Amino acid sequence: MEEKNKSIGKAVNRIDGILKITGKATYATDYPIKNMAFAVIFKSTIASGTIVNLDTTSAEQANGVLAVITHKNAPRLNEKGGIRGGALLQSPEILFYGQHIGVVVAETFEQARHAAHLIKVDYQKKEGKTDFEKLATSAGAPRGKELADLIRGDALGMLDTSAVKLEEVYETPIEHHHPMEPHSTIAVWEGDKVVLYNGSQIINGAQAAAAETLNLKPEQVRIVSPFIGGGFGSKGGQWANLILTAVAAKVVSRPVKLALTRQQMFNSVGLRQQNIQRISLGASKDGKLISLVHETTTQTAIDSEFLEPCGDCSKVMYEVPNALISYKVAPMHMMLPTYTRGPGKSTGSFALESAMDELAYKLQMDPIELRIKNEPQKDPSNGKPWSSRKTVECLREGAKAFGWANRKVVPGSNRVGDDLIGYGVACGTYPARQRDSSAVIKLTKSGENVFAIVEIAASDLGTGTNTILAQTAADGLGIPLVHVTVKLGDSDLPPAAGSVGSVGAASFANAVNDACTKITDELLARSAKQFFIRPTAYQLIVSENIKNYQTRVDAKAPKEAEQYSAHSFNANFAEVRVNALTGMVKVTRFLAVTGAGKILNPKTARSQIIGGNVWGIGMALSEESVMDPRWGNFATRSFGDYHVPANLDVGKLDAIFINEEDKIPNKMGVKGIGEVGIVGVAAAIANAIFNATGKRIRKLPITPDKLI
Partner 1 sequence: MRPFKYTGANSPSDALKLLIKNPNARFLAGGTNLIDLMKEDVERPDELIDLTRLDSTSFSKISFGVNTAGVSLGATGKNTDAAHHPEIRQNFPILTKAILAGASAQIRNMATNGGNLLQRTRCSYFYDTAMACNKRSPGSGCAAMEGINRMHAIFGWSENCVAVYPSDMAVALSALDARIKVMQADGNVRSIPIHDFHRLPGDHPEKDNNLNRTELITSIEIPTNKFAAHSAYVKVRDRNSYAFALVSVAAGLVLEGNKILSAHIAMGGVAHKPWRALKAEALLKGKIASTANFTAAAQAEMTEAKPLSHNKFKVALGRNTIVSALEIALRGAESPI
List contacts with partner 1 (CB under 8 A).
Answer: 45, 63, 110, 113-114, 117, 263, 418, 579, 581-584, 586, 621-622, 626, 628, 630, 633, 635-638, 640-641, 643, 645-649, 701, 703-705, 708
Alpha-carbon torsion (352, 355, 359, 361), positive or negative: positive
| Dist CA 301 CA 307 (whole Å) | 10
Residue number with CB closer to partner 1 (19 or 650): 650
How many helices and strands (H and E) does the chain possess?
Answer: 17, 24
Residue number with CB closer to partner 1 (118 or 443): 118
Strand, coil or helix: 291: strand
Q: Minimum distance from CB of 65 to partner 1 (Å)? A: 13
Backbone dihedral region for residue 313 (phi beyond 0: left; psi -120 to 50: alpha; all else: beta): alpha
- DSSP H helices, 273-418, are 312-316, 345-363, 367-373, 391-402
Please say if 675 is a catalytic residue: yes
Question: DSSP strand E in 210-366: where?
Answer: 221-224, 256-259, 275-283, 289-301, 322-332
Residue number with CB closer to partner 1 (263 or 527): 263
Q: Minimum distance from CB of 647 to partner 1 (Å)? A: 7
| Dist CA 223 CA 492 (whole Å) | 8
Residue in 175, 295, 575, 675 annotated catalytic: 675
CB within 8 Å of 445: residues ≥ 6 apart = 451, 541, 542, 545, 546, 547, 548
Residue number with CB closer to partner 1 (491 or 622): 622
Buried b (16+ CB within 10 A) or exposed e, 206-231: bbbbbbbbbebeeebbbbbbbbbbbb
Residue number with CB closer to partner 1 (481 or 650): 650
| Dist CA 231 CA 234 (whole Å) | 5
**Of 233, 230, 224, 236, residue with least CA distance to 185:** 224
**Of 94, 155, 101, residue with least CA distance to 126:** 94
Instruction: Determine what percent of the chain falls in helix, strand and coil, rounding each to the nearest 5.
Output: 30, 25, 45
Q: Minimum distance from CB of 42 to partner 1 (Å)? A: 11
**Of 428, 53, 459, 539, residue with least CA distance to 230:** 459
The β-bridge partners of 658 are none
Residue number with CB closer to partner 1 (401 or 646): 646
| Dist CA 677 CA 657 (whole Å) | 11
| Dist CA 37 CA 115 (whole Å) | 14
Q: Minimum distance from CB of 174 to partner 1 (Å)? A: 13
Q: Minimum distance from CB of 638 to partner 1 (Å)? A: 8
DSSP 351: H
Residue number with CB closer to partner 1 (515 or 700): 700
**Of 544, 551, 466, 481, residue with least CA distance to 516:** 551
DSSP 229: S
Residue number with CB closer to partner 1 (45 or 304): 45
Q: Minimum distance from CB of 434 to partner 1 (Å)? A: 38
Residue number with CB closer to partner 1 (50 or 579): 579
**Of 461, 674, 669, residue with least CA distance to 570:** 674
Q: Minimum distance from CB of 621 to partner 1 (Å)? A: 7
Q: Minimum distance from CB of 617 to partner 1 (Å)? A: 10
Q: Minimum distance from CB of 588 to partner 1 (Å)? A: 11
State the CB neighbour count (10 A cutoff) for residue 525: 8
User: Among all residues, which ones are annotated catalytic?
Assistant: 675
